[in-house]
Structure 1
Amino acid sequence: MRPERQHQVWRSEAGSRLWLSGLIAAMEHAEQPEVRRQPVAPELLVELRAQLALTASFRLSQISTLRH
């Protein structure tokens, strides 16, 4: 799904529930011991750390920039 479409879907209650359900499913999958034992590529960790370092307002501004 394109980022601008995701933003529109998240605005609705049903979209928020769908997004949250997907997040919960991903977290439940990631907590499984066999999944946790798998190595993670260093470049993926670098990208994740960079995303987590951003403020929420900056991330939202990036989404709205993509919409235009």
Structure 2
Amino acid sequence: AVREALEAAGIEPDSAEITMIPESTVACDEKTAEKVMRLVDAFEEHDDVQKVYTNADIPDEVLERIG
């Protein structure tokens, strides 16, 4: 519906996909963030997995440190 409305207004979207947006998030400290990211990476590497979603709220500075 949104894509069609944009196209009707003459705006061509760059992409259109269904995504999961969490209703609530969980704040993560650095130790937990490392575990979450290892798990996400493991799922992403699996051939049968197409998308990985998480409700982890990891601050940018923590993401930079665990990189």
Q: TM-score, normalised by structure 1?
A: 0.33
**Higher strand fraction: Structure 1 or Structure 2?**
2
Greater length-normalized contact order (CA 8 Å, ≥ 6 residues apart): 1
Q: TM-score, normalised by structure 2?
A: 0.33
Q: Which entry has the higher C-alpha Rg, 1 or 2?
A: 2
